[in-house]
Amino acid sequence: MEKYIKGRVWRFSENVDIDQIIPAIYLVTGDRQELAKHAFENVRPDFAKEVSDGDIIVAGPNFGSGSSREHAPRALLGAGIRCVIAPSFARIFYRNSINIGLPLVECDVDAADGDVLAIDFADGKIVNTNTSAGYTFPSLPDFLVDLLDVGLIENTKRKLKRTG
Amino acid sequence: MTIAEKILAAHAGKESVSPKEIVDAKIDYVMVNDVTGLPAFEVFEEFDANPILEKTVLIQDHYVPNKDVASAEQAKSMREFARRYGIENHFDVGRGGVCHQIMIEEGFAAPGRLIVGADSHTCSYGALGALSTGIGSSEAASAMATGELWFKVPETQKFVVDGELGKYVMGKDIILHIIGDIGVSGSLYKSMEFYGSAIESLHLSDRITISNMAIEAGAKCGIIPPDEAVFDYLKNRVIGEYSPVYADADAEYEDTTEYDASEIVPLVATPHLPENVTPASEIDVQIDQAYLGSCTNGRIEDLRAAAAVLKGTGKSVHPDVRMIVVPASKSVFEQAMREGLIGIFMDADAYVSGPTCGACLGGYMGVLAEGERCVSSTNRNFIGRMGHPDSEVYLANPAVVAASAITGRITDPEDLLEG
């Protein structure tokens, strides 16, 4: 995982649920790029067209609530989103994101659409380059840092190798 | 320790665990459905391993019978996965139903078990005293291969509901009342434990509704201490042995909230969050569709409650309303036929179909058009959940769904039958 990223903000409010991130009607594939075409289609039809690689989502509390669909973080990765920042996340979305390599940061950040944020994962710091406001966030437990880094697939392969 | 802590400790091979600790625990079952299965099977192929056959359960329910070619391909991938590895626990069209109902009916869910499923309403089996929780597709694949998964031990909150419930008040109203109080993130990452005389008085079906919707408060699980109602249900049904787990007398709870059951009335959760609860008798909303079904309220007890309202009034579904009834499983459907409930629904002009999750998540079999409103016995009223982004879903218990179907407006059954 990259230790430092800089990206443009897509701002969302609180309680963004999985049905908003990827409407259930498109749940007939697990392909990231295919899912990305329909990300936020019902609530923000411009998102899929205008999102670019390296963008960041900043949202209110309880991001990713509802369904267990891993299709949601897959769609965000497919759209080029490199990090989601919110004061809190729904737990299955949180697990899914870490497992497939989408970094999440639990932090209450003040940012508007189009602002550019710089995130330093190693030091736990965020700067909004438009407002110069700075924020800090606690580091993840070592287990989750490793999982985010290698991914659940590699983590499972190692476990299978150990247990024979 | 609380129930969740004790179950996690036992499955992690530890004497004790504490909240926030991360443990690797052995799971008893891992379940995937046709929507979450395909991505899991693709990931599984990376492992060069065989699935642990006795722990793996595959259930076709979201988009079967298939809604289009893509969903047909998806369902086919599950059949092929089952055949390739010889997985016997595969419930296909005509042999099963909505996944959580099948996990319970077929005896996979039991007290003290640790069960994961790639579907957020896996928390339903808490009603039988299991720690069951929703996971993603990749980790379902990992659990099929290793029989283990990582868990963060949750803090536990205690909810006590004492007193007598009103005639048309169901498990749905208890959980909506609680979510209305604590909010949709009121139990984020946490385990909910339910106690009190009102909970004990409920039959298992209503308890399943309560545990089922724990996720709508953000919870990891919603557990009810198992009693005779659970043990009786499991006789001649449960697979293998099980041992009930109860909280220690000195278990530490993050907080305890008490409710008076007599103050709970038939409720409706208005768009677009399950926390927006209001008494059904206090709102006047015209509806276009009434939906009865799902893992939340598609059991025989739910069908009985709705049929009793239709029969009690002797009226048919309002001419401007489509009522859709979807029993949650083949055996619920068969029982409803034996009891004459299917006839009551059809005589009242309701549409009855075989089990599927389709309409609940806006997939098919009851999708809403722009501006339409549906009173629904399901679990989520999010934006666009059942169809067009400008359609609306009002969550309610099965008796409210039936009463509203008759009047064409959201209606408390008490106002219709006793008023």
**What are the angstrom distances between the C-alpha of B275 and each of A65, B24, B154?**
13, 33, 22
Q: Could you tell me which residues come within 8 angstroms of residue B308 by beta carbon, excluding any fewer than 6 positions away? A: B399
Number of Cβ within 10 Å of residue B319's Cβ equals 7
Measured CA to CA, the distance from residue B158 to residue B223 in angstroms comes to 10
| B121 cis-preceded (ω within 30 degrees of 0) | no
Q: A-B interface: how many C-beta pairs under 8 angstroms?
A: 138
Measured CA to CA, the distance from residue B364 to residue B68 in angstroms comes to 10
Q: Does the pLDDT of residue A22 top 70, yes or no?
A: yes
Measured CA to CA, the distance from residue B191 to residue B177 in angstroms comes to 18
Pairwise CB contact (< 8 Å): A15 & B47: no
Pairwise CB contact (< 8 Å): B119 & A68: yes
Q: Per-residue DSSP letters for B277-301?
A: EEEGGG---B-SEEEEEHHHH-SHH
How far away is chain B from the Cα of A66, in angstroms, using its nearest Cα?
Answer: 7
The token duo for B304 is 């009985």
The pairing of strands B322-326 and B351-352 is parallel
The token duo for B399 is 């008796």
Measured CA to CA, the distance from residue A41 to residue B275 in angstroms comes to 24
Pairwise CB contact (< 8 Å): A68 & B136: yes
Measured CA to CA, the distance from residue B46 to residue A159 in angstroms comes to 13
Nearest residue of chain B to residue A155 (CA atoms): B142
The token duo for A53 is 């690689």
Pairwise CB contact (< 8 Å): B62 & A27: yes
Q: Find out whether A120 and A105 touch, Cβ atoms under 8 Å.
A: no
Q: Per-residue DSSP letters for chain A?
A: --SEEEEEEEE--S--BHHHHS-GGG-S---HHHHHTTTTTTT-TTHHHH--TT-EEE--SSBTBS---THHHHHHHHHT--EEEES-B-HHHHHHHHHHT--EEE------TT-EEEEETTTTEEEETTT--EEE-PPPPHHHHHHHHHHHHHHHHHHHHHH-
Please name which of B316, B404, B302, B335 lies closest in space to residue B325, comparing C-alpha atoms.
B302
pLDDT tens, position by position, B186-223: 999 999 999 999 999 999 999 999 999 999 999 999 99
DSSP classification of residue B67: S
The pairing of strands A116-120 and A125-128 is antiparallel
The token duo for B287 is 């509806």
Chain A (111-140) residues lying within 8 Å, Cβ to Cβ, of chain B? none
CB contacts of A28 in chain B (<8 Å) are: 35, 63, 68, 70-71, 73-74
A158 touches chain B (CB under 8 A): no
pLDDT band at A1 (very low <50, low <70, confident <90, very high): confident
A152 touches chain B (CB under 8 A): yes
Nearest residue of chain B to residue A20 (CA atoms): B383
Pairwise CB contact (< 8 Å): A69 & B380: no
Pairwise CB contact (< 8 Å): B138 & A160: no
pLDDT tens, position by position, B125-140: 999 999 999 999 999 9
| A141 cis-preceded (ω within 30 degrees of 0) | no
Please name which of A57, A43, A48, A49 lies closest in space to residue A8, comparing C-alpha atoms.
A57
Q: Is-above-0.90 flag for pTM?
A: yes
Q: What share of chain B has pLDDT > 70, as a percent?
A: 100
Q: Does the pLDDT of residue A164 top 80, yes or no?
A: no
A159 touches chain B (CB under 8 A): yes
Q: Find out whether B268 and B352 touch, Cβ atoms under 8 Å.
A: no
Pairwise CB contact (< 8 Å): A153 & B43: yes
* Single-letter amino acid code for the residue at B365: M
CA A57 from chain center: how many Å? 7
A33 touches chain B (CB under 8 A): no
Measured CA to CA, the distance from residue A67 to residue A75 in angstroms comes to 14
CB contacts of A66 in chain B (<8 Å) are: 120, 215, 380, 382
Average pLDDT, chain A: 96
The pLDDT of residue B80: 98
Burial (CB < 10 A; 0-12, 13-18, 19+), residue A131, is: exposed
The pairing of strands B373-376 and B289-293 is parallel
Q: Does the pLDDT of residue B419 top 70, yes or no?
A: no
Length reported for chain A: 164
Identify which of B42, B141, B146 has the shortest CB distance to residue A159. B146
How far away is chain A from the Cα of B325, in angstroms, using its nearest Cα?
Answer: 21
Q: Find out whether B136 and B118 touch, Cβ atoms under 8 Å.
A: yes
Question: Would you call B141 helix, strand, or coil by DSSP?
Answer: helix
**What are the angstrom distances between the C-alpha of B24 and each of B8, B12, B17, B44?**
9, 6, 11, 19
Identify which of A42, A88, A99 has the shortest CB distance to residue B136. A99
Pairwise CB contact (< 8 Å): B118 & A66: no
Q: Which residues of B153-175 are buried (b: 16+ CB within 10 A; e: fewer)?
A: bbbbbbbebeeebeebbbbbbbb
Q: Within chain B, how many helices (H) and strands (E) appear?
A: 15, 18
User: Maximum distance among all alpha carbons in chain A?
Assistant: 53
How far away is chain A from the Cα of B395, in angstroms, using its nearest Cα?
Answer: 15
The pLDDT of residue B166: 97
pLDDT tens, position by position, B4-39: 999 999 999 999 999 999 999 999 999 999 999 999
pLDDT tens, position by position, B148-169: 999 999 999 999 999 999 999 9
How far away is chain B from the Cα of A130, in angstroms, using its nearest Cα?
Answer: 31
pLDDT tens, position by position, B359-416: 999 999 999 999 999 999 999 999 999 999 999 999 999 999 999 999 999 999 999 9
The pLDDT of residue A163: 82
The token duo for B211 is 């545990």
How far away is chain B from the Cα of A63, in angstroms, using its nearest Cα?
Answer: 10
The pLDDT of residue B75: 97
Pairwise CB contact (< 8 Å): A68 & B36: yes
Number of Cβ within 10 Å of residue A112's Cβ equals 11
Average pLDDT, chain B: 98
CB contacts of A15 in chain B (<8 Å) are: 184-185, 273
Pairwise CB contact (< 8 Å): B138 & A99: yes
Measured CA to CA, the distance from residue B212 to residue B407 in angstroms comes to 29
Measured CA to CA, the distance from residue B208 to residue B260 in angstroms comes to 20
How far away is chain B from the Cα of A114, in angstroms, using its nearest Cα?
Answer: 25
Burial (CB < 10 A; 0-12, 13-18, 19+), residue B375, is: buried
Pairwise CB contact (< 8 Å): A156 & B122: no
pLDDT tens, position by position, B237-269: 999 999 999 999 999 999 999 999 999 999 999
CB contacts of B188 in chain A (<8 Å) are: 62, 88, 90-91
The token duo for A85 is 């920042």
List the Cα angle B263/B267/B272 in 5-degree steps. Answer: 135
The pairing of strands A116-120 and B221-223 is unpaired
Identify which of B36, B189, B363 has the shortest CB distance to residue A91. B189
To probe the interface with B, which of A13, A92, A99, A160 has the most B CB atoms within 10 Å? A92
Pairwise CB contact (< 8 Å): A96 & B136: yes
A27 touches chain B (CB under 8 A): yes
Q: Does the pLDDT of residue A2 top 90, yes or no?
A: no
pLDDT band at A156 (very low <50, low <70, confident <90, very high): very high
pLDDT tens, position by position, A81-114: 999 999 999 999 999 999 999 999 999 999 999 9
**What are the angstrom distances between the C-alpha of B131 and each of B148, B151, B231, B289?**
14, 11, 16, 35
Pairwise CB contact (< 8 Å): B138 & A88: no
